[in-house]
Amino acid sequence: MAISGITEKLLAAKKAKGISFADLEKVLGRDEVWIAAVIYRQATASADEAEKIISALGLDSEMAAVLCEPPLKGSLESSVPVDPLIYRFYEIMQVYGMPLKAVIHEKFGDGIMSAIDFTLDVEKEADPKGDRVKIIMSGKFLEYKKW
């Protein structure tokens, strides 16, 4: 995945300041995953949110305008991802995509889960066998229209 120049600058400033996405969540009052999506140019910030991000990272205020522009979403390359963490999500969909689709259709009917009216949370779950990653996705169900 090619990372944009603005993303590189934001991530470099975040690293230099030693700030986590959870730290930015406290500053903005927005979820850390959503903030990461703004930084990776997959979500749009308001002017106030952009100023808070830029200020927390100690960057010039003119950079805030870019975070307010609607981004080109879904910018992963179309080939199978090679990053091991991202590949696991691809693998999960290869193995469980059709079963998830079948269960969702059985419970809700013919439709999709919105990625627009959507939240995503990442939690760390302690386990004696090794910490676990808990991902909670919540999207509005959208029934296919009949005409």
How does strand 111-125 pair with strand 132-143?
antiparallel
Q: Which of the following is catalytic: 20, 55, 75, 88? A: 88
Q: Is 78 a catalytic residue?
A: no
Q: What are phi and psi of 118, to 5 degrees?
A: -150, 145
Identified catalytic residue from 55, 75, 114, 138: 114
Catalytic residue flag (residue 62): no
> Contact 65/50 with Cβ under 8 angstroms?
yes
What ranges in the chain are assigned the alpha helix state H?
5-17, 21-28, 32-39, 47-57, 64-67, 84-108
The tokens of 60 are what?
A: 């010039």
Is 30 tagged catalytic?
Answer: no
- The residues carrying an active-site annotation are 88, 91, 114
